[in-house]
Amino acid sequence: MGVEICVEGLTKSFGHQVIWQDVSLTLPAGEVSVMLGPSGTGKSVFLKTLVGLLKPERGSITIQGRDITKLREHDLYEVRKLFGVLFQDGALFGSMNLYDNIAFPLREHTRKSESEIRRIVLEKMDMVGLIGAEGKLPGEISGGMRKRAGLARALVLDPEIILFDEPDSGLDPVRVAYLNQLIVDLNAQIDATFLIVTHDIASARQVPDNIGLLFRRELVMFGPREELLASDEPVVRQFLNGRMQGPIGMAEEKDAAQVEQELAQIDDSARVHEPPAPRLLPGPGIARPPRWEAIARREAALLQKEVAGA
């Protein structure tokens, strides 16, 4: 079962440069959350801060009643055992085959026998669809397979929290679709708390229970997926619709007058009142988590509200 992460008033800077400030949110236990934002808004920095690799200037990160920003290194090491991390490039060792890459955390952090390690490694490789590729080197396989191998390695210690740093980077749309389905299936099977940093709007619309958006050094919004998909917040609508009109510019923030002019040109009367994009469902034979019933009720209530306002 996943665990809740409660973030309060978190601020991170590098020297005089503020990356983001006063970020507060709660990642619900066992749910899938996505963090969006334009390039350079500190999404990956946020992941590294959550796992204790970077120290914030202010604020708290509470996991199982412990504020990890105040823990000593030994205690922080214990809390990190709750985490699995999928890095952008998979972070595999090029000289090791996939089996040894995936077995590495077990050999490094446990005293399990090789027969027990083999059982666990093959189980996780089966979960991500890599059975038969045990002897291949990272350089011999596709980017999508490397991502899946990195995910299998993140799973071997049975983490309760899994962080994904742009899992779709470098993948074509078909592989992204397969990876999204794998993420949904895994969450239904292991019930861990997932946080995904991504730029991919299709993924953000279909995969998570919750969506957050970082912009201008702040967390603009964080909440249930269906609320953000229906949001009238200009930067949220601009990002989720992938359009040029709005506060986000190519290189710099736009001034308020320009943003107001662009937004006025958008024909809101053409906005169709329709249900949120359909969520990805777990694959055949995988039971839906109990929370999905509550989510379906929330989405139905939102649709009623949208239709009433049409």
CA atoms of 102 and 153, how far apart (whole Å): 4
Strands 66-67 and 5-14, sheet pairing: unpaired
Q: What does DSSP assign to residue 280?
A: P
109 within domain boundaries: no
Instruction: Compute the radius of gyration of the chain from its Cα atoms.
Output: 20
Segments forming the whole domain that contains residue 215: 5-82+159-242+271-309
pLDDT, tens only, 8-29: 999 999 999 999 999 999 999 9
CA atoms of 104 and 6, how far apart (whole Å): 30
Give me the pLDDT at residue 90, please: 67
User: By the 8 A CB rule, do 220 and 237 touch?
Assistant: no
92 within domain boundaries: no
pLDDT, tens only, 53-73: 999 999 999 999 999 999 999
66 within domain boundaries: yes
Q: What are the tokens at 113?
A: 């026998």
Q: Is 263 exposed, middle or buried (0-12, 13-18, 19+ CB in 10 A)?
A: middle
Strands 161-165 and 210-215, sheet pairing: unpaired
Interior CA angle at 85 toward 83 and 88, to 5°? 165
pLDDT, tens only, 179-205: 999 999 999 999 899 999 998 888 999
Concatenate the DSSP letters of all residues of 202-221 into one string. Answer: HHHHHS-SEEEEEETTEEEE
- The pLDDT-based confidence of 270 (bands split at 50, 70, 90) is very low
User: By the 8 A CB rule, do 197 and 208 touch?
Assistant: no
How many domains in the chain? 1
Which of 105-109, 201-205, 276-280 comes out lowest in average pLDDT? 276-280
Whether residue 309 is predicted with pLDDT greater than 70 in this model: the reply is no
Interior CA angle at 238 toward 234 and 243, to 5°? 145
Task: Please tell me the number of Cα atoms within 13 Å of 50 on its side-chain side.
Answer: 31
Q: Is 62 helix (H, G, I), strand (E, B) or coil?
A: strand
- The pLDDT-based confidence of 274 (bands split at 50, 70, 90) is very low
Q: Which of 121-125, 205-209, 267-271 has the highest mean pLDDT?
A: 121-125
17 within domain boundaries: yes
Report which residue type is found at 172.
D
Report which residue type is found at 265.
Q
H or E element at residue 61: strand 58-63
214 within domain boundaries: yes
12 within domain boundaries: yes
50 within domain boundaries: yes
34 within domain boundaries: yes
Whether residue 37 is predicted with pLDDT greater than 90 in this model: the reply is no
Supply the CATH number for residue 199's domain. 3.40.50.300
Q: Is 211 exposed, middle or buried (0-12, 13-18, 19+ CB in 10 A)?
A: buried
Q: What does DSSP assign to residue 138?
A: G
